[in-house]
């Protein structure tokens, strides 16, 4: 993804990103229409359109607020107003889901402690993963002066590692369960993220590539096993609701993680920037101070991501040992 996107941005307009992606949903829709079959019993139900409206406005506003922090700040009206609106509407959506007979999203899935723990763990991992995936290319392009394509190439081994390890961790999960996989994966994610706190303007690119790959290796050991363990704790009639909650949580917390790291990066960088008077008096000294301020921002952002990973590591110890079988 990042590699192809970087190449497209280097050679074409940003609109090419969407043109390349467009055929894939069309292909998936066509294949799903003709090849997917029913696995579980289905029944016709009427949609609760008020819940649809509340969730759309609520989660949409929250995602917009988190996505806008990078370009603005937490004190910008379009950020805090839309965030407040989002929280209010999400609260109304939760209240309605708990008070009607057939809710759009069955929040009773959170009565399962195992499922709840898995959702929180995956949310924390997504915050650490997606936030760093945004910050690392920024460092490569702004501090090191590399192109978007080259920053994508640096991230490519990590993506390949995650793709290769996913089926392997699946087989390991079948034998030993999620606990040891999650603990090991979160340890690798923590170590890999902590390395980025020490970045300088001369850190070898190969080291950055290796440590980023280690991060993705750790993530591949956490995401699927933890999610599967949580889903296995639910009865079949709550499976679809559990999947919906998982998907919603990933989107919201991924945006939240990105917003937090970008906000930390921006605020710390701006607070350490030298005054404009130094730019006129000593341009070279201003350049050195500005570079130091920028690196301080990246260090603070990666330190925050490391804290996310440490929280995930602590939560991994709470996962029950063994392979939990699906409930009926």
Give the pLDDT confidence score for residue 266 in this predicted structure. 83
Mean pLDDT of the chain: 82
Dihedral sign, Cα of residue 255, residue 257, residue 258, residue 260: positive
- 207 and 318 inside one domain: yes
Asked whether residue 40 is domain-assigned, the answer is no
Per-residue confidence band for 88, with pLDDT thresholds at 50, 70 and 90: very high
DSSP conformation class of 319 = S
Q: Is residue 223 in a domain?
A: yes
Provide the pLDDT for residue 52.
86
Same-domain check for residues 153 and 171: yes
Q: Are residue 13 and residue 139 in the same domain, yes or no?
A: no
More confident residue, 104 or 117: 117
- pLDDT score, position 325: 53
pLDDT at residue 285, as a whole number:
78
**Domain count along the chain:** 3
| Predicted local confidence at residue 42, as pLDDT | 65
Same domain, 324 and 214: yes
Q: What is the pLDDT of residues 142-175, one digit of tens each?
A: 888 887 778 888 888 888 888 888 888 888 888 8
| Pick from 136, 148, 135, 143: nearest CA to 287 | 143
Residues 124 and 99 in one domain: no
Q: Is 226 part of any domain?
A: yes
Residues 319 and 198 in one domain: yes
Residue-level pLDDT at 271: 81
Whether 83 and 118 share a structural domain: no
Same domain for 212 and 272?
Answer: yes
pLDDT of residue 187: 93
pLDDT tens readout for residues 208-225: 899 989 988 998 888 888
Task: Output the DSSP codes for 75-105.
Answer: TSHHHHHHHHHHHHHHHHHHHHHHHSSS-SS
Q: What is the pLDDT of residue 322?
A: 64
pLDDT band at residue 200 using 50, 70 and 90 as cut-offs: confident
In a domain, 39, yes or no: no
pTM of the model: 0.80
Q: Domain with 275 in it: what CATH number?
A: 1.20.1250.20
Residue 267: CA count within 13 A, CB half-sphere? 12
Q: Are residues 101 and 117 in the same domain?
A: no
pLDDT of residue 190: 92
Query: 56 and 146 share a domain?
Result: no
Confidence of residue 310 (pLDDT cuts 50, 70, 90): very high
Contacts of 293 (CB under 8 A, 6+ apart): 269, 270, 271, 272, 273, 274
**Last residue of one domain, picked from the residues 87, 105, 123:** 105
Q: Does 128 share its domain with 52? A: no
Residue 184 confidence class, pLDDT cut points 50, 70, 90: very high
Q: How far apart are CA 327 and CA 10, in angstroms?
A: 50
199: left (phi over 0), alpha (psi -120 to 50) or beta: beta
Is 290 contained in some domain? yes
Same domain as 326, residue 223: yes
Tell me whether residue 56 is in a domain.
Answer: yes
**For residues 273 and 215, which has the higher predicted lDDT (pLDDT)?**
215
In a domain, 238, yes or no: yes
Q: Residue 2: its pLDDT value, please?
A: 66
Residue 266: inside a domain: yes
- Residue range of the domain that includes 62: 45-105
């Amino acid at each position: 993804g990042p590699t192809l996107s970087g190449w497209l941005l280097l050679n074409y307009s940003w609109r090419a990103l969407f043109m390349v992606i467009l055929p894939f949903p069309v292909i998936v829709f066509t294949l799903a229409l003709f090849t997917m079959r029913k696995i579980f019993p289905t029944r016709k139900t009427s949609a609760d359109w008020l819940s649809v409206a509340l969730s759309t406005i609520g989660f949409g506003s929250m995602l917009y607020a988190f996505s806008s922090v990078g370009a603005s700040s937490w004190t910008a009206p379009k950020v805090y107003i839309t965030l407040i609106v989002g929280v209010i509407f999400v609260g109304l959506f939760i209240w309605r889901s708990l008070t009607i007979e057939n809710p759009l999203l069955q929040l009773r899935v959170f009565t399962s402690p195992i499922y709840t723990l898995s959702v929180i763990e995956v949310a924390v991992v997504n915050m650490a993963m997606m936030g760093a995936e945004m910050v690392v290319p920024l460092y490569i392009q702004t501090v090191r002066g590399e192109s978007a394509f080259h920053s994508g190439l640096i991230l490519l081994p990590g993506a390949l590692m995650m793709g290769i390890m996913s089926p392997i961790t699946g087989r390991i999960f079948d034998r030993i369960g999620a606990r040891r996989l999650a603990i090991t994966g979160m340890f690798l994610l923590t170590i890999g993220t902590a390395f980025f706190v020490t970045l300088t303007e001369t850190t070898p690119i190969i080291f950055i590539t290796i440590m980023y790959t280690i991060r993705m290796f750790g993530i591949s050991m956490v995401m699927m096993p933890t999610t599967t363990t949580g889903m296995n704790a639910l009865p079949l009639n709550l499976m679809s609701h559990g999947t919906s909650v998982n998907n919603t949580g990933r989107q919201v917390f991924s945006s939240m993680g990105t917003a937090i790291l970008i906000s930390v990066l921006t605020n710390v960088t701006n607070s350490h920037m030298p005054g404009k008077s130094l730019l006129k008096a000593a341009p070279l000294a201003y350049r050195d101070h500005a570079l130091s301020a920028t690196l301080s921002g990246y260090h603070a952002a990666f330190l925050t991501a490391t804290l996310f990973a440490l929280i995930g590591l602590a939560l991994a110890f709470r996962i029950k040992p063994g392979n939990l079988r699906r409930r009926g």
